[in-house]
Structure 1
Amino acid sequence: MITVSDARSGSSTNVLLDADESAPLAEIIPRLAAAVSLDAGRAALAVLVDGRMVPVSGSLSTAGLRAGSSVVVGARDAVAAYETSPEDALVQLRIVSGEGAGTTLHAWRGLATIGSSADASLRIDDRTRLAATELIVDIAGAEAVTVRPAAAETAATLDGEAIAASTPTLWPIGGQIAVAGRLIELARPDDDIAAFVPSEQGGGIDYNRPPRILPPETSTSLRLPAPPRDQKARPLPILAAILPLVIAGASALLMQNYYFLLIAALSPVTIVANFVTDKRAGKKSRRAEAAEYRTHKAVIESDAAAALVAERAELLRNAPDPAELAEIATRPLPRLWERRSTDPDHLRIRVGTATQPSRVTLDDPEQLEHKRTVTWDARDVPAVVQLAERGVVGIAGWGDRPRRLAQWAVAQLAVLQSPRDVQLYLLADASGQKPWQWMSWLPHVQPALGQDTMTTLGVTASTTARRIAELVALLDARQEPAGGSSGRWAGS
């Protein structure tokens, strides 16, 4: 089964293609064109298979045609508009959160624009909060990307900081621009393509997922140094300086020896000299201690900030955004089906982003005891739901948002979990069937538990009733050996 589209009209249909892999593509093209009501005799037709123009003189095998392929047919100029070579792009501008999440702009050197205009390189359909051209991105290299407002100012921020209008702001790889309720991330195309070979049975590919080694989850606890204690200023020992003079004066009068006065004068001079010396040394010592304290504190705060950045990067990687997930699924990348049923993130789904407490804590001795430990916040990190712990999750909201979020959840399960570990069921009425048609392409809906069906989709009254009966029987069978007890669910 493949999807065939007309390059001019954009209309598409699913086609069951039964042919040998060595069959000439030129013989198949007229039938593909007829499937979308395209006249193959008017002019030479070009063919695009999975985003790449292929020579019509080749075979189905050399064209890379396989089950699930997307084929575009039409005049060469029309077909060329659908051509994509993401691995050749210098950088990618990805909408990773908010409306339109999953949209990716493959960009090369030069200028790109972000705005609500149809002519914008990365279009965001939100004219109420976004100008026709809101931001201008200058791409001089993968590590030399700058961004500036198209107008005098913008509400957009880059990693939480305002984007200056006076000078272009460097946009680093991984940096995220927040604008109009969306997060746009600058990324570099991943060239680590998954290792796969054409299937011997034909029409597909054989893929062995690589081993996965999960680093242990760590927390960072740091303690700020105690500030240097303020030393009380010692007063000048006036009494100790005057008393020897009084005694020496009395002795000189009684003994008529005025050398006592000369000797006695040395005592207050020595005391005053020691006082001045100690005071200067104390000031120098306090300055050195204060400088050491500031340096030590700055180093610890810098380490805490670095730990927060590392934790945020780890959280973002462990819960891929829609654009990253699309890359994993379509190229494909080695992360396809990476989660095992024994992994802690098995059946974990990302539902959005939020500012959340991190695992970085800082102990500040300057604070009161109950306020001493401060937990730093991680900005715009994935908000996740663990299905294995929840068991049942409902999604509510207005409009079609619940359905779109449910589709996003299913997409994550299908891309990150193998069909050996997870099987998906769909129950929908006729009116809700169309938005879920894409699920029929997933290997996760092929019966793997002995069900007497082609797919585990229920989209009519009869198929829905059969799917419900299968699920009830499956639940009953699982509860019998467990004695009805509840535990951690690992998926079907």
Structure 2
Amino acid sequence: MNLTITTVDGADGARRDHLVGLPPRTTVADLAEAVDGTRTRNLYLDGRRLDPDAPVASTGLREGGVLGLGTAGTDPDRVRADAGPVLAEVHVVSGPQAGRTWLLAFGSHEIGSGPLCAIRLEGHGVPEGGLWVTVGADGSAHWHRTRTAPGDEVRGRVAAPPPDGAVTALRRTRPQRVTTERTAAPGQPVPWSPGEDLTVGSVLLRMSAPVEADAAVSRSADGFGIDYNRPPRIAPHLDGERVRLPSPPAAPGKRPFPTAMMMLTSLRTE
């Protein structure tokens, strides 16, 4: 098992990255000798001292983990603090970051390509900032712009199924979705309901209600990784469809017995 880890030296604070190969029965002392050249200094993980005789697989060390050499060390926490319960989600459904999801809590969140934006996007026509989505305590959301710049392209889009009766059994062309585009002047709030899209340059964002996490997460057999399995999200078709199936085939008829041919053959032989 190959594992990439970082060590923080308690003597001089130096950080070093290591790619180590760990056989199944590797102990903490073996790992210390590999990364430090000696077994005399203890290893620390998340502020706790690791038993030198314990197998590495039982310590909770994961890919990208940070180990302290000699002391627990002070590694800055780079995980963003919990901002509160998730009230809405923004999904990228088209564009360079398609598939990414942002979980939004109560408050305002800036959208753009700038480094300080909470929803940072990449793509042509994406503004650097000035586009905000605000989520209320009840989960409702709206977007507005505080400034505009030449070349920015931001517009809302509401898509709905075609009206009833738009598709018939004899009509083979697929009807177009009924779409309504929304633009707004700076400072004007525009409601953003679940299922509605917001075009930001070449990126298409969709507002969604919170989705319950359904991933199956379990510890891998080797003890170093986490197995992750998420069932696919199958969304229903937006357009209504009517499908006319062909009639079932008729049962094949019985094959006639060739009596005439047999009589003719018999007469010729006589």
Partner of 1:415: none
Query: Which of 58, 64, 67 is 1:70 aligned to?
Result: 64
Quote the Cα distance in structure 2 between the aligned partners of 1:30 and 1:93. 47
1:78-103 deviation line (CA, Å, top 9, x unaligned): 3x114687997554434332123344
1:145 paired with 2:125, answer: no
- How far apart are residue 205 of structure 1 and its match? 6.0
TM-score (norm: length of structure 1)? 0.31
Query: How many residues are aligned here?
Result: 200
Query: Which of 210, 216, 223 is 1:194 aligned to?
Result: 216
Give the percent of matched residue pairs that are identical in Structure 1 and Structure 2: 22
Partner of 1:120: 117
- The 8 Å contact of residues 156 and 162 in structure 1, kept in 2 or not, is answered as no
Partner of 2:200: 179
Alpha-carbon spacing, 1:171–1:28, altered in 2? closer, same or farther (3 Å):
farther
Alpha-carbon spacing, 1:205–1:72, altered in 2? closer, same or farther (3 Å):
closer
Q: What is the correspondence of 1:74-153 to structure 2 with a 5 Å cutoff?
A: 76=74, 78=76, 80-82=77-79, 89-125=86-122, 129-141=125-137, 143-151=139-147
Higher helix fraction: Structure 1 or Structure 2? Answer: 1
SS in 1 for 2:237: helix
Quote the Cα distance in structure 2 between the aligned partners of 1:191 and 1:183. 23
Structure 2 unaligned regions, length at least 5: 159-180, 244-270
SS in 1 for 2:48: coil
- How far apart are residue 151 of structure 1 and its match? 1.9
Quote the Cα distance in structure 2 between the aligned partners of 1:63 and 1:89. 32
Alpha-carbon spacing, 1:122–1:359, altered in 2? closer, same or farther (3 Å):
same
Partner of 2:176: none
Q: What is the correspondence of 1:310-349 to structure 2 with a 5 Å cutoff?
A: 310-312=236-238
Aligned residue identity for 1:164:
A
Quote the Cα distance in structure 2 between the aligned partners of 1:61 and 1:2. 11
Alpha-carbon spacing, 1:359–1:184, altered in 2? closer, same or farther (3 Å):
same
SS in 1 for 2:241: strand
Alpha-carbon spacing, 1:132–1:2, altered in 2? closer, same or farther (3 Å):
same
Partner of 1:18: 23
Quote the Cα distance in structure 2 between the aligned partners of 1:95 and 1:208. 21
Alpha-carbon spacing, 1:360–1:73, altered in 2? closer, same or farther (3 Å):
farther
1:11-32 deviation line (CA, Å, top 9, x unaligned): 96643233658x56x9857866
Alpha-carbon spacing, 1:5–1:172, altered in 2? closer, same or farther (3 Å):
farther
1:248-288 deviation line (CA, Å, top 9, x unaligned): xxxxxxxxxxxxxxxxxxxxxxxxxxxxxxxxxxxxxxxxx
- The 8 Å contact of residues 198 and 204 in structure 1, kept in 2 or not, is answered as yes
Query: Which of 350, 360, 369 is 2:241 aligned to?
Result: 360
- How far apart are residue 112 of structure 1 and its match? 1.3
- How far apart are residue 123 of structure 1 and its match? 2.3
1:300-346 deviation line (CA, Å, top 9, x unaligned): xxxxxxxxx9413xxxxxxxxxxxxxxxxxxxxxxxxxxxxxxxxxx
Quote the Cα distance in structure 2 between the aligned partners of 1:184 and 1:9. 42
1:156 paired with 2:176, answer: no
- How far apart are residue 143 of structure 1 and its match? 1.9
Higher-Rg structure is: 1
Aligned residue identity for 1:311:
H
Quote the Cα distance in structure 2 between the aligned partners of 1:131 and 1:208. 35
After the TM superposition, which of the residue ranges 148-157 and 6-15 deviates more from structure 2?
6-15
- How far apart are residue 196 of structure 1 and its match? 3.4
Quote the Cα distance in structure 1 between the aligned partners of 2:57 and 2:143. 44
After the TM superposition, which of the residue ranges 115-124 and 141-150 deviates more from structure 2?
141-150
- The 8 Å contact of residues 46 and 56 in structure 1, kept in 2 or not, is answered as yes
- How far apart are residue 55 of structure 1 and its match? 4.7
Partner of 2:4: 3
Quote the Cα distance in structure 2 between the aligned partners of 1:86 and 1:30. 41
Structure 1 unaligned regions, length at least 5: 36-40, 48-53, 216-308, 313-357, 363-492
- The 8 Å contact of residues 215 and 228 in structure 2, kept in 1 or not, is answered as no
Quote the Cα distance in structure 2 between the aligned partners of 1:209 and 1:94. 17
- The 8 Å contact of residues 111 and 121 in structure 2, kept in 1 or not, is answered as yes
Aligned residue identity for 1:15:
V
Partner of 2:162: none
Q: Per chain length, whose mean CA-contact separation is higher, i.e. which structure has more relative contact order (CA < 8 Å, sep 6+)?
A: 2
**Cα RMSD after superposing both structures:** 5.0
- How far apart are residue 197 of structure 1 and its match? 5.2
Partner of 1:245: none
SS in 2 for 1:101: coil
- The 8 Å contact of residues 130 and 148 in structure 2, kept in 1 or not, is answered as no
